[in-house]
Each structure stands twice: as structure tokens, then as C-alpha cells.
Chains A and B, each alone.
Chain A
Amino acid sequence: MNRAAVLGTGQTEHRTRRTDVSMAGLCREAIDRALADAGTDWSDVDAVVLGKAPDLFEGVMMPELFLADALGATGRPLLRVHTAGSVGGSTAIVASQLVQAGVHRRVLAVAFEKQSESNAMWALSIQPPFTMPVGAGAGGYFAPHIRSYIRRSGAPPHVGAMVAVKDRRNGALNPYAHLRQPDITLESVNASPMLWDPIRYDETCPSSDGACAIVIGDEAAAEASDRQVAWIHATAMRTEPTYFAGKDHVNPRAGYEASRALWRAAGIIDPLEQIDAAEIYVPFSWFEPMWLENLGFAAPGEGWKLTEAGETGIDGALPVNPSGGVMCSNPIGASGLLRFAEAAMQVMGRAGEHQVEGARTALGHAYGGGSQFFAMWVVGTAPV
């Protein structure tokens, strides 16, 4: 397999409603920034990979068709990737594999969501006729599983609020973040309304318009760059059925197996020791401790102890979501790619105010489809 590296990243200012741009304009804001960050232009792009969550969000079937011009895809291969909420991560991995396989030298990966065109709770609550119409969006789906996690782990109730405070304060350091709340406190989180008990309003991701883009290049392209690149050390994707007897929503097997494959491929023996920064897909604050366990940073039932001890803060042993993460910006289709891009930004030293000091190895992670799809990568300052 050939080496590949992230040469540049770009993202939009994420907001509830980006009524100043069309879907094409939203994508281009991220793409133009990624090309500039990579020090390249369209002439160097060999292929484009687009990621987007369910078409029902914008009501546009196959948006890759009408976006081809804006994505610079005319005259080039264009692939659409779709793995629900994890799609941004899968998009980065598909793009990296096109380079690692030697098919292309430089590939542009783009992902977006313009949630203000409809209502995600409506779009995620449409149920088949043989089930009760009790769906209530992603929060309604995940809240019972968070309750299971709290019961199984014995985590104290303030852990969810602690994650929310940490992520929102981190988001205040990120100029692109949708929610930037430097003054948020445990008290204010606990005073916020209970939406899907046990999930409070402030423990929930926002609904955002936004896009992200990255340029991935081969070894020659990376070496030609006069800036630090993010070498892709390993990638992993795994899938499991949406819902089956014995499915463990708290510690899904697909996520567990993907992470173990990832660490093996990246030569990582002790992830807590060897990963300097992690961008983990945390749409509801309680998912931080759950995924810390699923990913092997902590033993089952122990993830909340890392959070409670402050180890996931930006100065902790394992900074988690220094960008503020999904809790601060959630353009669903782009959220996974943002995690992957932010991981790359950390090892490239381009994370600005939310830079983790001396980050050399970072994790980007995404999941989607009711904990069905998992995608993750490890990037580093040095090639492996």
C-alpha cells in the first residue's frame, strides 16, 4: 500500500442557517479553503469523493448530480459515499484508499449537510408501518442506550454535563464552531431543559449547516509540500446490522473491532499512551465515556473516570474533541469528515487556539446509522 497524507483541510463557518449560500456555495467555501490550505489548485486534483447523509435532509435525490460543477468534478471521477452519520469519515477513507492504491495522486474529499433546508428530527422519525410511531429523532433513539450505559457503568449523573462544559468551552476556541460558549457551567447545563430524559438540551449537539473538505496526496505530493502534512497511519471501517438480538448499543461490536484493527494497523499498543489528541464523534455528551470504552482507551465501565478526572480536557492525558466536536457543530454529513480533518489539523500544527501542545499522533472517529457504521483513522506528523 502506498503512503498517503492529508495536505490541507478546509471547513465552513457552521451555523444553524447558512442562508447566505446555496448547497454548492457551502461546499465551495470548504473546498476553496482546503485547496488553499494544501497550497494547490484544481489542476492538481485527480478525483473527487463526496459524502452526504440521508437525502431526505435536503430533499434532493443524489445531490452529487447537480453539484458536479461546484465540486470541480467535471472531467474527473466523482464518487458519492453514504454511510449515514459516519459518512464524513467513510468519505475520507475512500479518498485515502484511492491514493494508497496508487489510482490517483491527489484526491479531494468533501462532505456537507444543509440541515436548515428541512428538519432532521422529522427526517429521522419516519417509521415503517409495522412499528409503533414512537420515534423521536436521534435523541429519542440514543437516549435509552445512554440510560443503559449509566446503569451498566454506574457513572455519576454529572459526567454528561462535564463533557458538555468541556466541549462547549473548547468550541469557544474554534472560530468555525457553531456553538461557542466560554461561560457555560455545570450548573447551567443541569438547568437546561430535559429533552429526551436522560439527555438535556445542553448535552445535545446542535443542528448545523456546514461543510468540510480535505486534500489527500501521495508520498510525492506530501514531500513536495512545504508545510507539515498529516500522514495517514491507518484506517478502519466496520459495519453491523442496525438492530439484532444481542446488539450491544453501549459497546457495539463493529466499533470495537474497527478500533482494534485500527490500532493494530497503526502499530499502537496502548492508545491512551500513544494517541495525543482524539476527535471522537460525540453527538450527545454521554457518548464520550461510551466511546472511550468502545475504542479501548478505557476498560468497559471505566470510560467516565477519564472524563471525570479531567483527562479528556485539552491539557489532559487524552484531549478529546479539542475543536468542540459534534457537540459544537453538527452538519451531519460533514461531522465525520470534520473529526478526521481536525485530527489532521492537530498533527499538522494548524489547529490554532485549540491546538494540543506537541500533538504527533491523532485519532479521527465517526459513527452512524444507530451505531451501525464505524469509520476511523490515525494520522501522524511522521510517515510510518
Chain B
Amino acid sequence: MEIGFDYTRSLGPVLSRFMTALAERRILGCRGSDGRVHAPPLEYDPVTYAPLTELVEVGPAGTVVTWTWLDRPLDGQPLDRPFGWALIRLDGADTAMLHAVDAGTKDQMRTGMRVQVRWAPEPVGHIRDVACFEPIGGAAPASPRSGVDPVTMVTTPIHLRYRHTTSIEESRYLRGLAEGKLIGQRCPACGKVYVPPRGACPTCGVPTVDDVELPDRGTVTTFCVVNVPFPGQRIPPPYVVAYVLLDGADIPMQHLILGCRPDEVRMGMRVAAVWRPREQWGTTPQNIDHFQPSGEPDAPFDSYAQHL
């Protein structure tokens, strides 16, 4: 699975000046109450907690304070070939910043080595304008430039890829769906039937082991009509999201209601699952495309009032 968002960062006065300077190919630190220069700059003094406002230029060269070597870089790291991760104290600064050193091989790295910034080809006012650091010896870093508009926002895309490992009960539920079945579990203590099954009853705290096959029809307990669009939405609005209490279950599941106008959906309406064509089935709840009115008379309120 993957989730991601392009987060928008408002910088405030200190970091705005820092980012603007990066776009000019300059690195700023800030002077703290004790005279130390922090680079990258801090917004508030770690000793007095007062806002820090005195920004001073540091670098573009510095000294490696300590380091480690990375043989296999990951996606999104500063370099795609082996490099050194180093704490670098820039000239004029009293604190070190973490960055990559493009040293070629591990035996080229050492504590105390002198390095200089390598600027990104087109600085834009983002921390990535510092492409990496490199040993001093080659060409000098690209010269500063001026006439850059103040940078007040930066965008930081963040993506998370992960694998969901199903529990035994989720696995049985999903495999059941692949065969067109709805498998729940009954709690041995309170007798309530959970679908999807959870493996334990959340109120009794005991394991649930008795599988129960449930029919693919039930009652709309309550619902809403989603009219609002939003990023990442999987279904175009408007659509009806209902809690459907399958016959024999004690907890409703959320699903789509189609096959009638949204304003015809009501609490107590009887509905039946509409499955996708069998050849499209997988181990997913989306095998049921939606629920639609079954045509049966509405269920009385008391029959589902405890399962809203």
C-alpha cells in the first residue's frame, strides 16, 4: 500500500531567510544568546528560549566532525552511489549539520577532512539546494547570486509504502470473499458476531474461534450521503455510505448503496449485495461492488436500534 502527500511548509521569519539564502547559494546560521552560531539556524534559543533573529553567513566549506559510510543508498537520499553521512561544522559555525559527502570510497573519508558544498544545478529555496558536500580540491562551489524572491513556503512530498500483514482472521475473511462468502466470528462469551472477524472480542477480551458464514443481505442501520470531494477520494461523489447490518451479525459494516436515488435510502431499508463478475474476484472486500435495495419491507427500528 502507499500513502503520500505533498506537505506545504510555512517557514516563518528565520527559516524563510535560510531558504531564501539557499536559493542565492549562501548558507545562513544564527547567533545564539551565548554567542554560538547554530547552522542550520534555530528559531528559538536553546538556552534562553528567546526568538533568534541574528543570521550570519557560514561556509561554504567546513570540517567533518564525525561520519559513517553508506554502501547502499535508498531512494530519496542525496546521492545514488555509496557516500559518507557526516556531521559537518561549516566555517563560522559552532554546531554541525548532517549531510552527505560524495567522497567516492570509504577510505577517502576521515574525521577532520575539509569539505565544501556542492550546489544543486538550479537552486529554488529548498534544503535540497545543498546537493551534498564534496572533498575540497576540485572546482570551487558555484558563486552566490542575488535577486532571488523571498521564499516563504517549501513543499515536502512524503510517501509511505508499506505492506499490511493480515491476521489469521483477516486472511480467512479475505479468502472467504474470494469464494463469494462473508465469514464472521462469534464471541464465545457474549455471543456477538463480528464481521470482519477480529480474532478477539473487543468487549470481552477473549479469543473468538467460531466462524460464522453470513448471508449477503441485511439492513441499513444509518447512513450519510457524501457530497464533498477531497484528495485521495476513491469514489466520485455524490454517493451513499451506509452501515449495513448483515442478517445474523452484531456490528454493521460500511458500504456503498446504489440502485436507487440517494434520497430514497432510509434507515431500516433492506439491502442485498451486488457482487462483481466472478472473474474479477480477489481477496478483497471490493468483490462486493455495492449493496442495493432488496425490495423487502423495511426492518422495524427496534430490530437494529442496538446496532447503529
Contacts and interface: CB of A to CB of B under 8 A. Distances in A.
Interface of A: 17-22, 24-25, 28, 42, 58-59, 69-70, 72, 74, 114, 116-119, 121-123, 125-126, 128-137, 139-140, 143-145, 147-148, 151-152, 193-199, 241, 243-246, 248-250
A243 B198 CA distance: 11
A364 B193 CA distance: 37
Given A24-B12, A117-B9, A144-B243, A244 B43 contact: no
What's the dominant secondary structure at chain A's contact region? loop
A133 to B, nearest CB: 4
A130 B256 CA distance: 15
Contacts of A194: 225, 227
A194 B228 CA distance: 8
Contacts of A74: 46-47, 49
Interface string B1-28: 1010101111111110000000000000
Given A17-B10, A69-B43, 6 more contacts: A69-B46, A130-B285, A131-B254, A132-B286, A140-B241, A243-B251
Interface stretch (B65-73, B117-125, B137-145, B229-237): B229-237
A25 B42 CA distance: 11
A129 B262 CA distance: 26
B150 interface: no
Contacts of A126: 3, 232
A198 B267 CA distance: 13
B228 A59 contact: no
Nearest to A28: B44
Contacts of A125: 230, 232-233
Contact of B49 (A69, A131, A199, A244): A69
Contacts of B15: 22
A210 B218 CA distance: 44
B252 to A, nearest CB: 9
Contacts of A128: 164
5 contacts: A21-B12, A59-B156, A132-B286, A197-B227, A249-B308
A31 B254 CA distance: 42
Nearest to B9: A117
Top 8 A-B pairs, shortest CB-CB distance:
A143-B224, A22-B12, A197-B225, A245-B250, A121-B230, A144-B222, A19-B10, A25-B12
A202 B12 CA distance: 31
A28 B48 CA distance: 13
Contacts of A121: 228, 230-231
Interface of B: 1, 3, 5, 7-15, 42-49, 51, 152-153, 156, 158, 164, 166, 170, 173-174, 190, 192-194, 196, 202-203, 221-228, 230-235, 239, 241-243, 250-251, 253-256, 262, 267, 284-286, 288, 301, 305-308
Nearest to B52: A69
Contacts of A143: 224
A195 B239 CA distance: 11
Nearest to B12: A22
A246 B307 contact: yes
A21 B158 contact: no
Given A19-B153, A69-B43, A130 B196 contact: yes
B32 to A, nearest CB: 10
A42 B285 CA distance: 55
Contacts of B46: 69, 74
B277 to A, nearest CB: 18
Nearest to A58: B7
B29 to A, nearest CB: 14
A22 B52 CA distance: 14
Contacts of A243: 202, 251
Contacts of B196: 130-131
A193 B262 CA distance: 16
B65 to A, nearest CB: 20
B57 to A, nearest CB: 21
Given A140-B226, A244-B203, A69 B284 contact: no
A156 to B, nearest CB: 17
A249 B228 CA distance: 23
Contact of A122 (B222, B225, B232, B243): B232
Nearest to B250: A245
B163 to A, nearest CB: 10
B220 to A, nearest CB: 10
